[in-house]
Structure 1
Amino acid sequence: MSYPALFETSGMRNFAELVDAERQRQIEQFGDQHHPILRGPSNQQLFEQLAEAMRDTNADPDQRCWMTILLEEAYEAGAERDLAKLRVELVQIAAVCQAIITDLDRPKVQR
């Protein structure tokens, strides 16, 4: 695919291409989907509790890992009712996913 370089972050172009290819596959398989963002206040409370637990976990360097960071962002998104703030959280999730993939693609170090 040829287009101008739009990204400055290492690995971002490859990440965007992978996500685009996956979205194309999903649309082909499932069609254009529409689902509620969140259902019911009990779900919001659950996500708030889970987000808090992940924040506590991530405060400890011996417990923090990519998956706890990703889960913290996902739970924060799940607890958010303001759609503009939800959008910010979802962008943060995408950025963490890109960071994880970039880390996976680096020369292997002990993890």
Structure 2
Amino acid sequence: MRRLEEIQTEERQLYSKEEALDSEANQVRRIKETYDQHLYEAKHFFDAICYQFHKNEQGNVYRALFDEFSQKSRQVMNELEKDEEELRRQKRKLSNQLEDIGYEKRKLLAEEENKT
């Protein structure tokens, strides 16, 4: 059976990893929010350009550019969402490991208490 010090060391490492994952998840969330705001502004920019050129062929060119831009933007957002989901999955895994460590720690402490 493992010693209490080993369990506590592993627990600290897991908490450290959890903290890093939380920080990374917050960073991804902020990036998504910023990207979403820029996408909103770009949409209005393209709409304004298309409106100004709606009577000639250039309007279609800008609309095609906007469609391509929208497609690429959705791809970027999908990748950010995949990253966010992966971070949530890792966080759940870490939480499960921390629960296991907590159980093992309580069990060891109970055994030591019964010995005395």
Query: Is the TM-score greater than 0.5?
Result: no
The higher relative CO (CA closer than 8 Å, separation ≥ 6) is in: 2
Query: What's the TM-score bracket when you normalise by the shorter of the two chains?
Result: 0.3 to 0.5
